[in-house]
Amino acid sequence: WNKEGACSGGGDLQAAADPDSGVNSVQNYKLSQNDHFRLEVKDRGDDGKIPILYLQKPLDKEAARHHILRLTAVDGGKPARSGTMTIIINVLDINDNMPVFVKDSYSAVLEENSPVGTSVIQMNATDLDDGLNGEVVYSFGNNVNNKIRKVFEIDAKTGVITVKGLIDFEEKDKYEIDIKASDKGLVPLATEKSVMITIVDLNDNAPEIEVTSLSNAVPEDSKPGRTVALLSVTDRDSGANGKVICSITEDAPFTLTPSPVGLCLVPAGL
């Protein structure tokens, strides 16, 4: 076994057994061609030749989970005889990959007044590491304020953002929220991605009328065009939902005329 990312290291391999002695015993070892390991042979006198395997290039488990090498022992006889052993090196994972979000950008559209528990969007990130190093959990970014946390919540396991509080277009028409994806390594690696949630306005506000009377009574001989009262009409909705059409009953002897401060109620002729 060897950890990925290791830059060096080595260890003795099992020496080959040869019942012959002298020059007819094991004289050398050869290692199959590979990119990561090299072989050295040390002569330990009466103990014979000992093969030592060294790592010469860092391993990457995401590129190769294991490496298969062939070690050949050669004696000094004529003709020379040899024996081969297969070496399987399994690479142990380290937490060298941070989570990566699947999409470059995330956005969603949500109607105001959506009920608590409504799913808004699912964030999705992957991690190339194994085990806990590759398990991803989701949370709000460190700079997400409490107002947003009162309105939305995110499932740590699934990455699904849901409605937690009141969604009111008139209070806020869009939310940009930073989402953090972290792995479960001993020293967790994390990355953040923002999601834009646009709120759709509903016609949930009735027009409000404010009347300012300019006189307590209207003389019966009042001339047409005299202002009797000022009316201010507002609607908190946006777009067409916030546009207001004003009218009065047909049999009333008054008309409505626009003015810089609102609508004027004036006699039509009494």
Q: Helix (H, G, I), strand (E, B), or coil: what is residue 111?
A: strand
Contacts of 170 (CB under 8 A, 6+ apart): 112, 201, 205, 236, 237, 238
What mean pLDDT do residues 139-164 have?
A: 97
Residue at which a domain ends, from 170, 200, 230: 200
Number of separate domains in the chain = 3
Residue at which a domain ends, from 70, 90, 110: 90
Same domain? For 124 and 195 the reply is: yes
- pLDDT at res. 232: 81
Domain contains 19 = yes
- pLDDT at res. 270: 46
- With beta carbons less than 8 A apart as the criterion, state whether 107 and 131 touch: no
More confident residue, 6 or 218: 218
Same domain? For 27 and 81 the reply is: yes
* Residue span of the structural domain in which 12 resides: 5-90
More confident residue, 39 or 211: 39
Same domain? For 183 and 217 the reply is: no
pLDDT over 90 (residue 140): yes
Domain contains 58 = yes
Q: What is the CATH number of the domain that holds 71?
A: 2.60.40.60
Percent of the chain with pLDDT over 70: 89
Same domain? For 63 and 10 the reply is: yes
Q: Name 126's bridge partners.
A: 100
More confident residue, 254 or 142: 142
Domain contains 167 = yes
Same domain? For 196 and 117 the reply is: yes
Same domain? For 105 and 196 the reply is: yes
What mean pLDDT do residues 142-147 have?
A: 94
More confident residue, 167 or 256: 167
pLDDT over 50 (residue 67): yes
pLDDT over 90 (residue 220): no
Domain contains 194 = yes
